[in-house]
Amino acid sequence: LEVRFAPVAIVPDPLRACDDAVTDGFTIFDLTAVAPEVLGGLDPAQFDLYYYQDNADAIAAGDVALTAPDFSLSIATPGAYLNTSNPQEIYILVVGNSSSTIPPNPNTGAGCYDIVALTLIVDPIPDDLGPFEMQLCDDDLNGSTFTDEISTFDLTTQNILVNGGDPSIAVLWYETAADELANNFIVDPTMYQNTATPQTIVGRATSDLGCSNTVTLTLTVFPNPAPNFMPTPLELCDDDDDGLVSGFDLTLRDTEILDGQLATVLYY
């Protein structure tokens, strides 16, 4: 009779992953990431881990591990596993291999096993509610001029639109997609000056679960009108020599004031 050492595996915390670009609750998991947690103090060189979708398959494999090892029904690629439901239970078979000789038991532990469950959870990413637009007239703030097509934008005014009014979703702004990948965010988004018009920048929305999505925001600076500041005077004859005459049609100078520009003239 031989009594072999039976491992005691640790139930791991749920393995969480953010949903991918297709927001359907399915994504790729690396199941092997929980191996150190499952083994606890066990020597990883003495125990093999197999991952199963069905607990019955894991039990069946464990039961014959002493006599006729067969792990063919385990998940073939545990490092790149696509979940089948959300959440989903995966069953981890921890089985002693031929190197498993843990004192004080003088017999090998090969074939003895334990099974623990692993919960997979796919967390949602924030919705992309964009694209968004901001439009300003050319200003002269922060060193710019009224004619340089540069204005100062407060990007944070768009945060409530990006996160849909959910304050738990944080928003950061990036000048380019490359900056977003490198996490080089705009330091002061309340005073951002565009570099071209139109210009498209990137916003990253991150949930309290750490899942992110990106949106685009197009900044446009409109030129200020350049009117004819000296239109020809309007003249009417004074019928009673009091200097006051009714009947001036101010709109007669609209065309002259606009000087070919697409704009509207109002009089005050």
What is the CA 66 to chain-centroid distance, rounded? Answer: 48
pLDDT in tens, 198-239: 999 999 999 999 999 999 999 999 999 889 999 999 999 988
What is residue 189's predicted lDDT score, i.e. its pLDDT?
A: 98
pLDDT in tens, 96-128: 888 876 655 556 677 889 999 999 999 999 999
Q: Are 112 and 74 in contact (CB under 8 A)?
A: no
Q: Are 189 and 159 in contact (CB under 8 A)?
A: no
What is residue 97's predicted lDDT score, i.e. its pLDDT?
A: 87
Structure tokens at 168: 């738990």
| pTM for the structure as a whole | 0.75
Q: Which amino acid is present at 204?
A: R
What is residue 106's predicted lDDT score, i.e. its pLDDT?
A: 56
Hunting for tokens 């949106």 — which residue is that?
A: 215
- pLDDT higher than 90, residue 149: yes
Q: 1: pLDDT confidence band, cut at 50, 70 and 90?
A: confident
- pLDDT higher than 60, residue 91: yes
What is residue 112's predicted lDDT score, i.e. its pLDDT?
A: 87
- What number is the average pLDDT over the span 59-84? 95
Residue 198 half-sphere exposure toward CB, CA atoms < 13 A: 11
Around Cβ 183, how many Cβ atoms within 10 Å?
9
What is residue 219's predicted lDDT score, i.e. its pLDDT?
A: 98
